Amino acid sequence: MLLFLYIRQLRKKYEKTEKEKKVICQGKNMKVSILGAGPTGSTAAYYLAKEGIDVELIDKREFPRDKPCGGGLFNPPLFYKEFPHVKEIEGKYIYKAKFYCRKYFFDYESKDPLMKTCFRKDFDHFLLKKAMKEGAKLLVQKKPEPEGDIVINANGARRIKDYPEAGICLVNDFRIEKEIDTVYIHYGFHGIKGYAWLYPKEGYANIGIGAYLPQKSIKRIYESYIDFLEEKDAAHVQGKSYSAKIIPFSSIKIFILRTH
Ligand SMILES: Cc1cc2nc3c(=O)[nH]c(=O)nc-3n(C[C@H](O)[C@H](O)[C@H](O)COP(=O)(O)OP(=O)(O)OC[C@H]3O[C@@H](n4cnc5c(N)ncnc54)[C@H](O)[C@@H]3O)c2cc1C
pTM: 0.88
Output the pLDDT for position 18.
Answer: 63
Q: What is the mean pLDDT of residues 180-204?
A: 96
CA of 238 to the centre of ligand 1 (A): 28
How many domains are contained in the chain?
2
Name the average pLDDT for the chain: 90
Output the pLDDT for position 16.
Answer: 62
Residues at CB less than 6 angstroms from ligand 1: 1, 3, 35-41, 58-61, 67-72, 144, 154-156, 169, 171, 208, 210, 247
Q: What is the mean pLDDT of residues 43-72?
A: 95
Considering the domain architecture, whether residues 243 and 222 belong to the same structural domain is answered as yes
pLDDT for 125-146, tens place per residue? 999 999 999 999 999 999 999 9
Considering the domain architecture, whether residues 167 and 228 belong to the same structural domain is answered as yes
User: For a pocket test of ligand 1, which of 2, 10, 143, 155 has the largest count of ligand atoms closer than 8 A to its C-beta?
Assistant: 155
Output the pLDDT for position 250.
Answer: 85
Report the alpha-carbon distance of residue 44 to residue 57 in Å, rounded.
Answer: 10
Nearest to 140 by CA among 232, 59, 210: 59
Q: What is the mean pLDDT of residues 35-47?
A: 97
Output the pLDDT for position 89.
Answer: 94
Considering the domain architecture, whether residues 66 and 31 belong to the same structural domain is answered as yes
CATH of the domain at 161: 3.30.9
Supply the residue whose CA is at minimum distance from atom 16 of ligand 1: 69
State the Rg of the chain over Cα: 20
Domain assignment of residue 230, given as a range: 77-118+157-260
Greater model confidence, 214 or 2: 214
Output the pLDDT for position 216.
Answer: 93
- Greatest Cα pair distance in the chain: 61
Report the alpha-carbon distance of residue 55 to residue 59 in Å, rounded.
Answer: 13
Considering the domain architecture, whether residues 131 and 192 belong to the same structural domain is answered as no
Considering the domain architecture, whether residues 133 and 230 belong to the same structural domain is answered as no
Considering the domain architecture, whether residues 87 and 38 belong to the same structural domain is answered as no
Report the alpha-carbon distance of residue 94 to residue 136 in Å, rounded.
Answer: 33
Considering the domain architecture, whether residues 55 and 167 belong to the same structural domain is answered as no
Considering the domain architecture, whether residues 114 and 128 belong to the same structural domain is answered as no
Considering the domain architecture, whether residues 100 and 82 belong to the same structural domain is answered as yes
Output the pLDDT for position 5.
Answer: 57
CATH of the domain at 8: 3.50.50.60
